[in-house]
Amino acid sequence: MRLSLSVTFAMNRYHGRAGESVLEWPPSPQRLFQALIAGSHRGAYNLVNQTTRDEALRWLERLEPPVIETCTPLDCGQGMVNYVPNNDDELVHIRTAKTMLAKAMTSDRTIAYHWRFGSSSEAQVAASVICAIAGLVTHLGQHQDIVYVRGEVTETESVMTAAGEARIVLHPTERTDGEWEVPAEGALVSYKERYRGLLNGESPFDYVIPSRSVRYQSPDIISFDQPLALFELWSNDDTRLRFEPRDLRVPAAMVRNAMIEWLKANPSFVAYYGEEMTSRLICGHEPNQPGKAYDGPHIAFVPIPSFNQEWLADGWIRRVLVIGNGCEDGLTSDLFNDAQSNLGGRSLKDNGAVIGYLRRAESDTRDSVLRLFIRSEQPCRVWRTATPIVFTGLTRRGRPGGQLIARALKQAGIAETDIDSVATFRGPIIPKTVHALDYRVSGYLAETPRYHAEVIFNRPVIGPLVVGRGRHCGFGLMFPWAKEPATILEEENS
């Protein structure tokens, strides 16, 4: 059986935020669940059929995350600010700035949430109650996001999109670093307790709402599911540290060293996970065999250059992304989570001298810079290197650079059939980056060529995408060039 809630935006706009300047699209199931509570607990609706209503909401919070079927919106209001009076009891209001950034829907303005459930009589009753509650929802997002919601129960479990419609079907995967929240068991009770606390003047942050983190993606998109953790680099005087792009190995080594020092200071963790696993994941080699190559699960430390959409940022490094390659589940996942959760506040050292410390970013996936490299809200087919790809072998007749890059992409989990074309360049191909040969390398990274590259895929890709030798310290970091190939050729030939 399938429960479907279709949300239609009356004003063709959505302003819901996942952060101060980041739109949440599509609206999370947690946000819809809050709207269902708000609609069914106001006025007379809060006084009738309370037991039946709450039983249905508790049933809904226990279901697996829904599939979401969305329209294709456009960003609007970028850079536009409106000044409105604060909500206070002063005679002279102080006006505060409100960004007008929103998602604009054109002809299609409906999002559908589809839950699967068993066909028991109790479940069918609960689903029918949720459909009745859905009609009471009036807003989803901010106060200006007026909606009307329709519920429907059908016997089919599959989601079919009508031919010719530009609809996107997103499937959920529960992840600790997921960008969307789904209610978990106990959410309804916690929301009620928080509301009573707010009426008594308490802070909403005093209440923890049970939830599950979920990543949504289309099955037609290539996505990388490694766990992530983003850290900012700060100096001892609380200003941002920054490093030249060509010195990207320096901040990568500092963060790796901070993790190694944490392990040395906590031998109980090493004893629990084993010296072999910690050495492999963090140091990348077999115990007592430092010269042997290791290609299993590995924690990468990837410096992230500072870019923005207008290309006004300087491209210097102020962040390091910690990626758990091969650490998606099991004991390796536990080790990654323990290690990254203990990195915040650790010292950054240069030749033994403390020069700063690590600060965990407020959100791993919604940081304004990292979002440009991941591009989960609009997957991209065209990717260009922010740092050069270090080849896994030497070029020769019959084995050009494009073939070696295809090999590196295959090692990253991308099939050769998903690659449309590859082009290599010595010089930088995106602003604020430097020539491939200007990056400072030594050891095995100096043994093979390094090139910038543009790769066009047959399917859209969600990052982060890091390929080639040295990918565990930031080489081969790719940037989604958010234009279709035809547009790029037209611009570059003009």
CA distance 247 to 268: 34
Contact 269, 338 (CB under 8 A): yes
Q: Is the pLDDT of residue 486 over 50?
A: no
Identify which of 158, 165, 166, 208 has the alpha carbon closest to the alpha carbon of residue 186.
208
* Residue 177 in domain: yes
Q: Residue 334: which residues within 8 A CB-CB, separation 6 or more?
A: 273
Q: Is the pLDDT of residue 45 over 90?
A: no
Q: Is the pLDDT of residue 385 over 80?
A: yes
Tell me which of 192, 219, 246 is where a domain ends.
219
Task: Give the model's pLDDT for residue 110.
Answer: 93
Do 215 and 260 belong together in one domain?
Answer: no
Buried (b) or exposed (e) across 104-119, using 16+ Cβ within 10 A?
ebeeebbbbbbbebee
Do 247 and 160 belong together in one domain?
Answer: no
Q: Residue 53: which residues within 8 A CB-CB, separation 6 or more?
A: 40, 129, 133
Angle CA 165–166–169, to nearest 5: 100
* Residue 92 in domain: no
Identify which of 14, 457, 18 has the alpha carbon closest to the alpha carbon of residue 222.
457
Q: Is the pLDDT of residue 225 over 80?
A: no
Contact 190, 210 (CB under 8 A): yes
Q: Is the pLDDT of residue 162 over 60?
A: no
* Residue 93 in domain: no
Using alpha carbons, list the distances in angstroms from residue 327 to 271, 331, 411, 470.
19, 8, 16, 18
Percent of the chain with pLDDT over 70: 90
Do 66 and 200 belong together in one domain?
Answer: yes
Query: Number of folded domains in the chain?
Result: 2
Task: Give the model's pLDDT for residue 168.
Answer: 84
Q: Assign 159 a pLDDT band (cuts: 50, 70, 90).
A: low
Task: Give the model's pLDDT for residue 490.
Answer: 46
Q: Is the pLDDT of residue 352 over 60?
A: yes
* Residue 80 in domain: no
Contact 470, 390 (CB under 8 A): yes
Tell me which of 184, 219, 254 is where a domain ends.
219
Q: Is the pLDDT of residue 484 over 70?
A: no
Q: pLDDT per residue over 165-212, tens digit each?
A: 568 888 898 877 678 999 999 999 999 999 999 888 888 888 899 999
The per-residue pLDDT of the chain, averaged, comes to: 86
Do 189 and 251 belong together in one domain?
Answer: no
Do 208 and 233 belong together in one domain?
Answer: no
CA distance 127 to 121: 10
Region 285-307: what's the mean pLDDT? Answer: 74
Do 167 and 237 belong together in one domain?
Answer: no
Percent of the chain with pLDDT over 90: 52
Q: pLDDT per residue over 180-193, tens digit each?
A: 999 999 999 999 99
Task: Give the model's pLDDT for residue 111.
Answer: 94
Task: Give the model's pLDDT for residue 488.
Answer: 44
* Residue 281 in domain: yes
In the 3-class helix/strand/coil scheme, how is the chain assigned residue by residue? CEEEEEEEECCCEECCECCCCCECCCCCHHHHHHHHHHHHCCHHHHCCCHHHHHHHHHHHHHCCCCEEEECCCEEECCCCEEEEECCCCCCCCCEEEEECCEEECCCCCEEEEEEECCCCHHHHHHHHHHHHHHCCCCECCCCCCEEEEEEEEECCCCCCCCCCCCCEEEEEEECCCCCEEEECCCHHHHHHHHHHHHHCCCCHHHCCCCEEEEEEECCCCEECCCCEEEEEEEECCCCECCECHHHCHHHHHHHHHHHHHHHHHCHHHHHHHCHHHHHHHHHCCECCECCCCCCCCEEEEEEEECCCCCCCCCCCEEEEEEEEECCCCHHHHHHHHHHHHCCCCCEEEECCEEEEEEEECCCCCCCCCHHHHHCCCCCEEEEEECCCEECCCCCECCECHHHHHHHHHHHCCCCHHHEEEEEEECCCCCCCCCCHHHCCCCHHHHCCCEEEEEEEEEEEEECCCECCECHHHCCCEEEECCCCHHHHHHHHHC
The backbone region for 493, taken as left when phi is positive above 0, alpha when psi lies in -120 to 50, beta otherwise, is alpha
* Residue 84 in domain: no
Task: Give the model's pLDDT for residue 455.
Answer: 94
Task: Give the model's pLDDT for residue 108.
Answer: 87
What's the gap between Cα 435 and its chain centre?
29
Identify which of 3, 473, 40 has the alpha carbon closest to the alpha carbon of residue 254.
473
Q: Assign 233 a pLDDT band (cuts: 50, 70, 90).
A: very high
Region 371-375: what's the mean pLDDT? Answer: 85
* Residue 91 in domain: no
Higher pLDDT pick, 369 / 100: 369
* Residue 341 in domain: yes
Region 218-230: what's the mean pLDDT? Answer: 84
Do 185 and 324 belong together in one domain?
Answer: no
Containing structural domain, residue 193: 2-72+104-219
Q: Is the pLDDT of residue 288 over 80?
A: no
Task: Give the model's pLDDT for residue 163.
Answer: 44
Q: Assign 285 a pLDDT band (cuts: 50, 70, 90).
A: low
Do 247 and 176 belong together in one domain?
Answer: no
Region 390-396: what's the mean pLDDT? Answer: 87
CATH number at residue 195: 3.30.70
Do 240 and 122 belong together in one domain?
Answer: no
Do 389 and 315 belong together in one domain?
Answer: yes
Q: Torsions phi, psi of 479, nearest 5? A: -120, 130
Do 418 and 479 belong together in one domain?
Answer: yes
Do 19 and 148 belong together in one domain?
Answer: yes
Tell me which of 180, 199, 219 is where a domain ends.
219
Looking at residue 276, its amino acid is: E
